[in-house]
Amino acid sequence: MHPSSRDEFPPHHPYGPWTIEERRVVYEDPWLKVRCDSVVRPDGNPGTYSTVRIKPGVCVIAIDHDDNLYLTKEFHYAVGRDTIEGVSGGIEDNETAQLAAKRELAEEIGVVSGCLQEIGTVDPLTAALWSPTKLFLATDLSFMDPNPEATEKIECFRVSFAEAVRMVMDSEITHGPTCVAILKIQFLRSMPG
Q: How far is Cα 68 from Cα 143, in angstroms, rounded to an integer?
A: 14
Element (H, E) at 105: helix 97-109
Residue 151: inside a domain, yes or no? yes
Q: What is the mean pLDDT of the chain?
A: 92
Q: Assess whether 47 and 125 both reside in one domain.
A: no
- Return the percent helix, strand and coil in the chain, to nearest 5: 20, 45, 35
What's the half-sphere exposure (Cβ side, CA atoms, 13 Å) at 39?
A: 19
Q: How confident is the model at residue 5 (pLDDT cuts 50, 70, 90)?
A: very low
> Into how many domains does the chain fold?
2
The residue out of 54, 71, 89 marking a domain boundary is 54
Host domain of residue 30: 7-54
Is the pTM higher than 0.75? Answer: yes
CA distances from 3 to 7, 93, 109, 178 (A): 7, 9, 30, 25
Q: Which of 36, 54, 72 is the last residue in one of the domains?
A: 54
pLDDT score of 149: 76
- Residue 147 confidence (pLDDT): 85
87 and 161, same domain (yes or no): yes
User: In a 10 Å sphere around its CB, with 0-12 CB exposed, 13-18 middle and 19+ buried, how is residue 101 labelled?
Assistant: buried
- Whether 9 shows a pLDDT value over 70: the answer reads no
**Domain match, 48 and 137 both:** no
